[in-house]
């Protein structure tokens, strides 16, 4: 389930794409070429062919899966890639790009064009493509720049996993992180509600950096205030967010009433810090609880 924070309450939305305001089709226009509102007053980002970068805690891949599937259900297409690493899944819509390190400039341009043709074929078959360059350990890593520009030229949403967190529900980025594409239109900063009341050292990737920002030690429990502070911080959740990008906090694992109350508390604290775009997600249908 998906909710947005609006008028001090959680309002259910039909999809993540709708919650972000990038669902696409307008009446009388085909889905693949429609434009929509970004949902952020004064935002200059494109709702037609967004570049979405997901950063922060564990759950980024699930979030991008959800968003890509939303586009496909709406009759659109989407490409998912990474600027760091993602696991390569045994799915027909995954595509390994050629490694570009040993190619000349001319060979790289030709390989990029051939890659774009392969992506188009996959999109026509499956509606979505997940792609990256081959990496050790059954993973895919970031594409060469010319390949990524070919993706942007396809005229479809490009979704990028731009950070790593080793599946932990909190993350503070190191100096070299996150790796956000400069033309990103939407940044999704992910936090897990299951971190609250757990010891910081047990639930936060790069906990020593979190300790400095939060001014607490790793043995202390995480609070709603901690997550709000990190999500609003230019040293943490907002680090590297391009000026033109709409910044949205995603609170995942809202799988019971207690966690949804925690989510509401975090939303209120974020609002006080000037962040009004918050999405709360659950993989469960809580209406059945």
pLDDT at 47 over 70: no
Mean model confidence pLDDT for the chain: 90
Query: What is the per-residue pLDDT for 186?
Result: 98
41 pLDDT above the threshold of 80:
no
The CA distances from residue 26 to 152, 170, 185, in Å, are 22, 37, 20
Residue 157 has pLDDT above 60, yes or no: yes
Q: How far apart are CA 10 and CA 214, in angstroms?
A: 27
User: Which pLDDT belongs to residue 50?
Assistant: 95
- pLDDT at 76 (0 to 100): 94
pLDDT of residue 201: 98
Say which residue, 102 or 122, is predicted with more confidence.
122
Mean pLDDT of 178-196: 98
Band (36; pLDDT cuts 50, 70, 90): very low
Token pair, residue 258, equals 């207690």
74 CA to centre of own chain:
19
Cα separation, 41 vs 62, whole angstroms: 28
Q: pLDDT at residue 38 above 60?
A: no
Query: What number is the average pLDDT over the span 214-240?
Result: 98
- Rounded CA-CA distance 174/171 in Å is 9
What is the pLDDT at residue 48? 67
pLDDT of residue 98: 77
CA distances, 193 to each of 190, 200, 241, 242, 249 (Å): 10, 13, 22, 26, 12
Res 12 pLDDT > 50: yes
Q: Specify the DSSP element, H or E, that contains 66.
A: helix 60-73
Q: What per-residue string of b and e applies to 170-186 under the rule 16 or more CB within 10 Å gives b?
A: bbbbeeebbbbbebbbb
The answer to whether the peptide bond before residue 178 is cis (omega within 30 degrees of 0) is yes
Q: What is the mean pLDDT of residues 187-212?
A: 98
Q: Which residue has the higher pLDDT, 93 or 29?
A: 93
For the chain, the structural domain boundaries read 2-76+157-288
The mean pLDDT of 150-159, rounded to a whole number, is 94
Q: What percent of the chain has pLDDT over 90?
A: 84
Q: Can you tell me the mean pLDDT for 113-130?
A: 97
CA distance 39 to 42: 9
Please check the confidence at residue 170 and state whether its pLDDT lies above 50.
yes
**Mean pLDDT in residue range 128-132:** 98
SS3 content of the chain, % helix, strand, coil (to 5): 35, 25, 45
Counts of helices then strands in the chain (DSSP H, E):
8, 14
- pLDDT, average across residues 259-264: 98
Q: What band does 100 get if pLDDT is binned at 50, 70 and 90?
A: low
Q: Quote the strand ranges of 88-241, DSSP E.
A: 94-96, 128-135, 139-141, 158-161, 170-171, 186-192, 204-205
258: closest CA among 226, 225, 274, 282? 282
- What mean pLDDT do residues 101-123 have? 91
What is the predicted pLDDT for the residue at 283? 84
CB atoms within 10 A of CB 110: 12
Q: DSSP for 216-268, please give it.
A: --TTSBB-HHHHHHHHH-TTTTTTT--TTSEEEEEEE---SHHHHHHHHHHHH
Per the DSSP assignment, residues forming a β-bridge with 257 are none
Total residues belonging to the chain: 289
CB proximity list for 46: less than 8 A, separation 6 or greater: 35, 185
More confident residue, 128 or 100: 128
pLDDT at 102: 76
């Amino acid at each position: 389930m998906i909710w947005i924070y609006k008028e001090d309450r959680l309002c259910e939305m039909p999809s993540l794409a709708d919650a972000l305001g990038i669902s696409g089709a307008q009446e009388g226009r085909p889905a693949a070429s429609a434009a929509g509102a970004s949902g952020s007053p004064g935002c200059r980002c494109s709702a037609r062919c967004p570049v979405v970068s997901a950063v922060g805690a564990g759950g980024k891949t699930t979030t991008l899966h959800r968003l890509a599937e939303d586009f496909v259900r709406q009759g659109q297409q989407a490409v998912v890639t990474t600027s760091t690493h993602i696991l390569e899944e045994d799915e027909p819509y995954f595509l390994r790009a050629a490694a570009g390190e040993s190619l000349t400039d001319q060979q790289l341009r030709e390989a990029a064009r051939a890659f774009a043709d392969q992506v188009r074929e996959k999109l026509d078959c499956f509606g979505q493509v997940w792609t990256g360059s081959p990496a050790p350990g059954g993973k895919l890593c970031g594409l060469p720049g010319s390949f990524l520009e070919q993706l942007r030229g396809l005229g479809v949403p490009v979704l990028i996993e731009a950070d790593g967190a080793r599946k932990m529900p909190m993350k503070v980025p190191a100096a070299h992180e996150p790796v956000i594409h400069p033309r990103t239109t939407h940044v999704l900063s992910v936090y897990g509600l299951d971190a609250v009341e757990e010891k910081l050292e047990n639930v936060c990737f790069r906990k020593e950096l979190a300790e400095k920002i939060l001014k607490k030690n790793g043995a202390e429990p995480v609070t709603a205030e901690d997550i709000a502070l990190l999500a609003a911080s230019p040293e943490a959740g907002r680090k590297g967010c391009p000026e033109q990008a709409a910044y949205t906090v995603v609170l995942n694992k809202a799988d019971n009433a207690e966690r949804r109350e925690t989510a509401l508390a975090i939303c209120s604290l974020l609002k006080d810090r000037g962040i009004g775009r918050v999405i709360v997600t659950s993989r469960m249908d809580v209406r059945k609880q």
